[in-house]
A and B are shown apart, each in its own frame.
Chain A
Amino acid sequence: MNFTITRKNLHQGLAAVSASIPTKTTLPVLSNILLEATDGQVRISGTDLDVGVRTRTPAEVGQEGVLTAPGKKLQEIARELPDEPVQVTSQGDQIELRCGRSRFKLNGLPADDFPNLPEVSFEEGWNAPGQVLLSLVQHTAFAVSTEESRPILNGVLWELKDGQMRMVATNGHRLAKMTVPAGSSAQGGAELIVPPAALQQVQRLFEKENEVHVGRDANHLGFRSGNTEVYTRLIEGTYPNYEQVIPKDNDKWAVVDRESFASAVRRMAVVASDQTHRIRIGFHQGAMRLTVLTPDLGEGEDEIEIQYEGEPLEIGFNAAYLLEVLRYMDTEEVKMGFKAPERAATIEPVRPDGEEGGVEYLCLVMPLRLLD
């Protein structure tokens, strides 16, 4: 193998892939990236076996070939090289880089040891505008569970049906759901449970302005945009029936200024228990009263103006969950809905009529039980 590439292209390609390389691995070849020089381009791939990234970059290929080499080291070298063409040559399992007067030799491993990225067909997939896909990911992926006890909740549910595209994530205590019109791009239905690590790569690598092609096989999903592809295994199983837990009969509504609500919750959180993050919120006509009482620590209280008409209501919350949800609401005001202190509360953005654009965003937060 032998090719010449600009330093910039080499570095960009390596940077795109190296984030998919696991930091700790029992399989040494996974610390490496796969370089494949073919007709006028170099393909660079990296994977941790769950998520894989592949990118193509133009190069002057003298002799075609494949090789694996230590990903992070290559990237660090490419970053430090002068801005001149880089000549890359393989010598057995070693890779040699020459750039100006610099020369490096790194030990690689046989390319046969490198795992194959899934063969996902993009022909039968669908397209999504980058902006839409990235917005769905950004507004939901934060809510996935990080506990190992319920693997299914470690993924984001991605649904395509009835001309709509939807992502849902939950850890069983709070839930985020966003629905957008899918347009004509998505034919047929799909229900996929996607590891958030793959969606993070999508967020990191793809541009809002570009269309993203999505392809799948039975167990894998692939994203392609521009010269870059992200592959992931899908999480198997049935996602819990989230529709069932979304309250339909909430009858108490509060409209709250998002920023002043969030800062009041942050203040209360300082004195909340490190374990439960429990704060108490009282909804009264025109006012929200926040209190916190933590044995052995102390107490705090605060009040902000809100629009609220219903009967007074006292409800306990994990402050961390509230703050997280509020961070992803991108409107000045949010609307909260309740039925009773021990039922799920809804939080949604308040947009002026006609500005929704068919986008629905809803978060649920399950309260903490209050004793007295």
Chain B
Amino acid sequence: MFFVQVARLEDPEGVGRTPLLMVGGSPSGRGVITSASYEVRAYGVRSGMPTAQALRLCPEATVVPVPRGACAERSRAVRSVLEELAPVVQAASIDEFYLDLSGMERLLRGESLEETAHRIRRRVLEGTRISVSIGGSTRKMVAKLAAGEAKPAGVHIVPPGGEAAFMRRFRLAQIPGVGPAFLSALEAKGLSTVEDILPVKLTWLERWFGSTRGRWLYHRVRGEDPSPVSPGEDRKSVSSERTFPRDLVDRAEMERALLDLSASVGRGLRKRGLRARTVTLKARTTRFRNRTVSRTLPEPVESDTALFQVARELLASVLEGRRPGYRLLGVSASNLVEAEEGAQLALFQEEAVESERDRILSRAADRLRTRFGEGALRPGRMVEPNPRGREEDTDGA
């Protein structure tokens, strides 16, 4: 709902007055719904649904594109209000935050957790005009599920000691961290709800799903989650992917797309002061098959050049012997290290995947873009070939 709220705030006279509002991609291409108003959800529209399908369900709805800049700005505003109210704030995503109130017991004396939550909700609304829902518990996972119960625009507190009882109402698919693969393994054993799992002994869960996953699930369904609220949640990967308006079949075209994705991942890495050792390419075929290939490099990299180089080689390995036709490409960088943390120096500069020059070039490009805008600098390869067919050198950086 965050995206819908922001869209309305951005255009109070227009979509601000439309009850049937969806935020997402265009219905003519392959856009999907990012968020829909509660009124539209009543028609069966869900986030992630193709916009064209959503419009078939609710033809009167208005679709507006995601106001990205405004969303990031509002999200930062919400965060700064939260930071005034709680000592530890962790942003889980653009519209999701965890607050750790430990240590505030004396300050909050005389106020129940429920009252505190309502006060936080009011303050965020006054400060940012964004209406939030708040879930409260002694455990992060339980709080997240409680926030779901609090919607729309409410508060749901699970009292200490009540975690296990609260969990009983959920299906396993609702537990954060249970993905499609795990779910089908669970279904194969006839397990679909928390109630189903509770009587199962730990040893059996371990035997069926492996000791790590089995143990994890055993504790989660009882509302146990040891993870702390940490303000600088460690990033595991930086990625960028794109669904194209039509399938890409031409190799040069795919490589251009990869260059764009690599540059976006590179910027993400450098902005956070990170380098990546593993580069992963994801390609979704016309028939919705996902191919994922990755390579781990001898040294971590951060430059667009190096990321693109690896992504391009990975693409070549994906295309080898297969018919092209891809609707989605994605590049992801993982196995992250702090950019400056103990960088290993190389004996053979020319053999390195990434040279000092590549890094300097990428950082200089970042500075130019920060100053003159995203479009200020583009690789020559990204410039569309001249439509009149005059030959132009479009290669190079």
Contacts and interface: CB of A to CB of B under 8 A. Distances in A.
Interface of A: 145, 147-150, 153, 170-175, 240, 245, 273, 275-276, 278, 316, 318, 342, 344, 364, 366-371
B351 A368 contact: no
Interface stretch (B62-70, B90-98, B218-226, B342-350): B342-350
B42 interface: no
B347 A149 contact: no
A273 B342 contact: yes
B345 A276 contact: no
The main secondary structure of chain A at its interface with chain B is: loop
A366 B299 CA distance: 13
B295 interface: yes
B353 interface: yes
Interface in B304-345: 337, 340-345
Contact of A369 (B298, B342, B347, B348): B342
A273 B300 CA distance: 15
A366 B353 contact: no
A278 B342 contact: yes
Interface string B345-374: 111101111000000000000000000000
Contacts of B353: 149
B313 to A, nearest CB: 9
Given A342-B345, A370-B342, 20 more contacts: A147-B296, A148-B295, A149-B295, A149-B353, A150-B351, A153-B351, A172-B352, A173-B298, A173-B345, A173-B346, A240-B351, A275-B337, A276-B337, A276-B341, A276-B344, A318-B342, A366-B345, A366-B346, A368-B344, A369-B345
A145 B296 CA distance: 13
A271 to B, nearest CB: 14
The main secondary structure of chain B at its interface with chain A is: loop
Contacts of B297: 147, 149
Nearest to B353: A149
Contacts of A276: 337, 341-342, 344
A371 B343 CA distance: 9
Nearest to B349: A245
A316 B342 CA distance: 8
A254 to B, nearest CB: 19
A245 B344 contact: no
Contacts of B296: 147
B346 A278 contact: no
Nearest to B234: A296
A172 B348 contact: yes
A179 to B, nearest CB: 18
A148 B353 CA distance: 12
Contacts of A150: 298, 351
A153 B296 CA distance: 16
Contacts of A370: 342
A143 to B, nearest CB: 11
Contacts of A153: 351
Nearest to A367: B345
B347 A245 contact: yes
B261 to A, nearest CB: 20
A278 B298 CA distance: 16
5 contacts: A240-B348, A364-B347, A366-B345, A368-B345, A369-B343
Contacts of A172: 298, 346-348, 351-352
Nearest to A370: B342
B342 A368 contact: yes
Nearest to B336: A275
A371 B340 contact: yes
A146 to B, nearest CB: 9
Contact of A366 (B295, B341, B347): B347
Nearest to B296: A147
A170 B347 contact: yes
Given A149-B298, A150-B351, A318 B340 contact: no
A147 B298 contact: yes
Interface in B140-165: none
Contacts of A149: 295, 297-298, 353
A148 B296 CA distance: 9
Contacts of A174: 347
Contacts of A371: 340
A315 B344 CA distance: 12
A77 B347 CA distance: 49
Contacts of A145: 298
Given A149-B297, A149-B353, A276-B337, A175 B342 contact: no
A147 B298 CA distance: 7
Contacts of B295: 148-149
A155 to B, nearest CB: 14
B344 A173 contact: yes
Contacts of B342: 273, 276, 278, 316, 318, 368-370
A273 B296 CA distance: 18
A149 B346 CA distance: 14
Contact of A171 (B298, B340, B350): B298
In the A-B complex, the 6 residue pairs with the smallest Cβ-Cβ separation, listed nearest first, are: A278-B342, A276-B342, A368-B342, A369-B343, A245-B347, A366-B345
A277 to B, nearest CB: 8
A26 to B, nearest CB: 15
A156 to B, nearest CB: 16
A145 B350 CA distance: 16
B351 to A, nearest CB: 6
Contacts of A316: 342
B347 A173 contact: yes
A88 B341 CA distance: 63
B337 A366 contact: no
A170 B352 CA distance: 13
Residue from B298, B347, B348 having most chain A Cβ neighbours under 10 A: B347
Contacts of A147: 296-298
Contacts of B351: 150, 153, 172, 240
